[in-house]
Chains A and B, each alone.
Chain A
């Protein structure tokens, strides 16, 4: 399931990497929503251009984008194949029973354009911000403590549990699971029972591990009254080069987001 490839952060020297995580999260999030409002095909090249510009500024390698696009690309492939052939009245071309329709083609262009642009922004955010930093930024923006704790703990044990499942599945295969003949389009009750027990065992092992984890956390003071972390001794002045670059980038992205929404309203 690709759990091993969770480390999405790629270290580079770039303005996007240096961008304050909180401002980056808010700005790119708003730009993603601005992209989602686009309904006019004429705005798609602008949207793709903006995403490409930000990706270029992030200095992330193209292989990162290609690799990450491979899974969701399958869904888009289905849209690209189905919509132009099934939706609309204006026929652009016909080959036997295959009919290419203009409305379907336009809808495909719009969906694929929005999809690629939003996904690229998501990958810029994840590729230029370490996961824990991102979580910290969400916390400072009001993410409830319980949700932040749960996210951190789940992330911490995700890979161990994935490895546990892989070991259990290998043990099942070594004992002959999956080698029996199964009839087409039939659910084998025995197979399903074995898989239910596998999942149940995974839950029980995780539950038992959680009890040990909780005891260790209690010993380290978890659940006691929280202490407020002391404020950093020095804060960067508003007009330092770093702060200036942060605000310029944030301003530029927000202007682009508002501009897109405004253009969409005018064109609509």
Chain B
């Protein structure tokens, strides 16, 4: 779910870089408010590399397989480090496997990173919004929401960008039908991503709870 070079007009690419700049500035400002931001850099960096590597894991759904995006999980685990982590991960993907692109790096980072920050806030709100629920249901449910919405919102942004920008000759009815069909098609993927995130977060909660402190 990366937009390659050449698809989007320059104005959209520039807007993507502008939003990425603001989101990176905001994330770095939040990180620098912590008592010792330097102490968290190695943890965030190695987890960035681990997430990049883990994105190659596929869930088999015969006869095909489902590729995980993991942006919601990144938000849940890394907190405000999620946006810089996604930016770096996408830069590596453009560099290493030609996945995505350099002109569309800002757009792709916005598409994946903003929902990741949202997933972080959803997961953090579990102690307020989910105080009526027992543990571990509460953690599992909010992790599911973070994972599913992280992918769901990223997919909506992706589809909107693709359909609105190419091609101009496509009529409005066809556009609406395509958006609706593709959006509905992404619901099962969001459910799979949410379930996977919930399973993983519950596993981390049992084995290494400090990883969920955000």
- Contact in complex: A200, B101 (CB < 8 Å): no
For chain A, residues 26 to 41, give those with C-beta under 8 angstroms from any C-beta of chain B: 29, 32-37, 39
Q: Do A36 and B49 contact each other (CB < 8 Å), given the known contacts A184-B63, A204-B207?
A: no
- Contact in complex: A192, B88 (CB < 8 Å): no
Is residue A69 within 8 Å, beta carbon to beta carbon, of the partner chain? yes
Is residue A209 within 8 Å, beta carbon to beta carbon, of the partner chain? yes
In the bound complex, how far is the Cα of B7 from the Cα of A116, in angstroms? 11
Query: What total of chain A residues lie within 8 Å of the partner, measured CB to CB?
Result: 86
Tally of A-B Cβ pairs under 8 angstroms: 237
In the bound complex, how far is the Cα of B88 from the Cα of A158, in angstroms? 12
| Chain A contacts for B98, CB-based, 8 A | 68-69, 71-72, 119
Is residue B95 within 8 Å, beta carbon to beta carbon, of the partner chain? yes
| Chain B contacts for A37, CB-based, 8 A | 9-10
For chain A, residues 201 to 236, give those with C-beta under 8 angstroms from any C-beta of chain B: 202-207, 209-211, 213-214, 217, 222-223
CB distance from A34 to the nearest CB of B (A): 8
Is residue A112 within 8 Å, beta carbon to beta carbon, of the partner chain? yes
Most chain A CB inside 10 Å of its own CB: which residue of B50, B57, B199: B50
Having A83-B167, A149-B41, A197-B199, one finds 11 other A-B pairs with CB under 8 Å, namely A5-B96, A37-B9, A68-B98, A72-B98, A87-B167, A104-B167, A107-B166, A158-B52, A200-B204, A203-B208, A207-B208
* Chain B residues at the A interface, C-beta cutoff of 8 Å: 4-10, 13-14, 24, 28, 31-32, 36-39, 41-57, 59-63, 66, 77, 81, 84-85, 87-89, 91-92, 94-99, 101-103, 166-170, 192, 195-196, 199-200, 203-204, 207-208, 211
* Chain A residues at the B interface, C-beta cutoff of 8 Å: 1-3, 5-6, 8, 29, 32-37, 39, 68-69, 71-72, 75-76, 83, 87-89, 103-104, 107, 111-119, 122, 125-126, 131, 144, 146-147, 149-155, 157-158, 161-162, 165, 178, 182-188, 191-193, 195-200, 202-207, 209-211, 213-214, 217, 222-223
